[in-house]
Structure 1
């Protein structure tokens, strides 16, 4: 069987980064990938300003008991007068520090009476002043090319006046489910049939990563149906993901149909549980990834092996998310000939390592484990792991984003 980490690396390299970019407004940029590195256009803050509601003074004018006439009340956004010697200016959070002032005294540290401010607690020189450029200097790099744009990046870009950004075109993904036993949710079901959960599940996973599902198709177990589906998908998709139909049964027709379309398919037996059978092909430059038909296996393979490929094809800088670590919390022992990816729920622990509790049933048919779990805990092949042992943890929040 192919080593899991080798399989992950091969999948991550199976597609090419994008070459097409486009401009979009900042309010449409969430979930897009930045196609150019951006730099600060202004200092942040653009001028010294007050971190508190208070009174601006020149520290050299301070003596205990001195009263400072209030020269001006300057709100955030108002221009400040130059501070006259011995005076104060009433400021509010965000107000510009007046010329000639170097210290802000919090309003709680004194009292204003008859338009004079008396300081009750001695100030420290320079206190409560946010200096110009404290956060960012004009010319600093603020967001790197290949970054997935989320709310934090939008805040930074908006603060620098960017109304539009250059992003890569969305990755277009096609999903094909197979199997005569599957019917769409909402339809009447016979005892021998099951609802198709793979299609909606994978579509949600793809969309959550910022890619675009342009086709979600289902094909019957016939060459004609598969030919028609692949023709549609390959004509308009950057990446095709199929589920089921790549084994060696009489109705496992995906592999021969891909061959008829000019693709060569590598079928791997990956050293992982769940999700051992994974296939990769190309039709021209379009990667085709074939997942096992079991929904839990398909979920695991997509999360751990396909998501890096999607990030590569989106143009992201970080293709493989960081692996975290946690401590197993269980009375059971785990030991398998393959790397076992346990569905676990992570909970905070005071020792700094998350406590990882495995779902009670770890069978590949237990779909109820997926909404319960927060990630996968990895038990290496031929290794006994039990409660208290530290294991690698693959958090869904990072691996499916």
Structure 2
């Protein structure tokens, strides 16, 4: 009697590594090159299309970091308090034209442009005012509470580089040099399908044997986070002809087609064949990744195609690790790989060599203060609730065959994506 197996990766020949598959598709499908100007209020998450060079310094003038009193350090006594007459006041937005006279102090407020001669500012809480004089204690260092022009941004420096995915702080930095908009690559246009005779729309009545479509809504949210323009084309049945026509029609006018389901090797899995019959090609089909081995990467004309698995956890993992880097690169981003952080494994795990596996975990703080990764008790590729109940994934590389409790592993936070 033949030995049975519960390993869905056991058959079908050699699997392709993730990096090799992405390199192959990126070689064939270069990034888009159309650009547009985006107002700062609409630029978050967009990909910058040109280096941004500062046309002015930030701050543009020396200024006070606190509310207090501005002085010449040379006027202060080293071994006791110093009493100086007040020569006036300076507030933010109201600079003084004249330098500070020697042997005097200036009432200064946070952000105020400081006149020449000033080189030190004391906090108002440390000083005592008596009429038109101020008493200053000893011990302040020269340059205290004094912000130099250009200490944040120097005029002529590159503050943001082409290919950067813009974050909120980037927008503030651009605004600080006077920009109201930024050059960005246009948004990727993505056509999104689900496939399967058993798949139904949420909100409808399902017959026996049917399931509601979870994948399309997970993918829609993930694509929106990447700033894509999404055309939701609904659910396609397991029909090779309809799949071929739908994919062929959608290839015109979109940068990328994305499906879920129908990419395994069964008799009812028609997506790979449909791509080829629509005049396209599949360059990678079976990846050395778990969950998520059946992933089809290809193209129809100049339009990229990504066929994700049908199981919802496999959909999420393969989107994050395979589709997301490809989407970002196609959109013009320079950095596409997710960031990994070292944590301590609080679980033991065995795996086969030559495939990369992702384990769902939550993080706890160990007795040593370091984060510990606790494996979710359920690890099936169809258990989407295990993702909801987890903080992220532990990545186990192709060469790893066993992890023991206490070893250091690489963690990918869902929030980081």
Q: Considering the TM-score relative to the shorter chain, is it more than 0.5? A: yes
Query: Residue 224 of structure 1: CA displacement?
Result: 4.1
Matches within 5 A, 1:2-401: 2-13=16-27, 15-63=29-77, 64-80=80-96, 81-266=98-283, 268-330=285-347, 332-336=348-352, 338-348=355-365, 354-381=371-398, 383-398=401-416, 400=417
- 253-262 vs 155-164, which deviates more? 253-262
Measure the CA separation in 2 of the matches of 1:72 and 1:176: 70
> CA separation in 2, counterparts of 1:350 and 1:76?
49
Q: Distance in 1 between matches of 2:168 and 2:321?
A: 25
Change (3 A) 1:6 1:224: closer
CA distance in 2 between counterparts of 1:156 and 1:76 reads 20
After superposition, the CA RMSD in angstroms is 2.0
Q: How many residues align?
A: 398
The Cα of 1:115 is off from its aligned counterpart by: 2.1
Structure 1 Cα separation of the partners of residues 58 and 113 of structure 2: 13
Aligned in 2, Cα 1:283/1:250: closer, same or farther, shift over 3 Å? same
**2:4 maps to which residue?**
none
Partner SS state of residue 397, structure 1: coil
Distance 1:268 1:384 in 2: 27
Q: CA deviation digits over 1:118-177, x for unaligned, max 9?
A: 113443222211111222210011000001111110111011101111110001111111
Change (3 A) 1:206 1:364: same
Gaps of 5+ in 1: none
Return the alpha-carbon distance in structure 2 between the equivalents of residues 7 and 234 of structure 1.
Answer: 21
- Is the 1:68–1:117 Cα contact (8 Å) retained in structure 2? yes
- Residues 104/389 of structure 1: CA separation in 2 closer, same or farther (3 Å cut): same
Structure 2 CA distance for aligned equivalents of residues 232 and 273 of structure 1: 32
Specify whether residues 62 and 390 from structure 1 end up closer, same or farther in structure 2 by C-alpha distance, changes over 3 A only: closer
CA distance in 2, matches of 1:369, 1:13: 35
Contact 1:59 1:103 in 2 (8 A): yes
Give SS of 2:94's match.
coil
* TM-score of the pair, normalised by structure 2: 0.89
Taking a change above 3 Å as real, the CA distance of residues 7 and 357 of structure 1, as seen in their structure-2 partners, is farther
Q: Which whole-Å CA distance do the structure 2 matches of 1:4 and 1:250 have between them? A: 26
Q: List gaps (5 residues or longer) in structure 2.
A: 1-14
Go from structure 1 to structure 2 and tell me whether the alpha carbon gap of 1:7 and 1:267 turns closer, same or farther (over 3 Å shift). closer
1:14 CA displacement: 5.2
Structure 1, 265-274 or 111-120: larger mean CA deviation: 265-274
Residues 73, 160 of structure 1: alpha-carbon distance in 2 compared, 3 angstrom cutoff: same
The Cα shift of 1:215 comes to 3.0
CA 1:22–1:340: 2 relative to 1, 3 Å:
same
State the shift of 1:82 in Å: 2.3
Cα separation, partners in 2 of 1:11 and 1:301, compared to 1, 3 Å: farther
Please say which of residues 69-78 and 377-386 is displaced more in the overlay: 377-386
Distance in structure 2 (CA, Å) of the matches to 1:130 and 1:139: 19
Distance of 1:240 and 1:375 partners within structure 2: 27
* TM-superposition CA deviations, 1:270-294 (whole Å, max 9, x none): 2221111111221111111111111
Q: Is the 8 A contact 1:109 1:121 kept in 2?
A: no
Asked whether the equivalents of residues 45 and 165 of structure 2 are also in contact (C-alpha less than 8 Å), the reply is yes
Residue-by-residue CA offset, 1:309-330 (whole Å, 9 max, x unaligned)? 0111110011223333222112
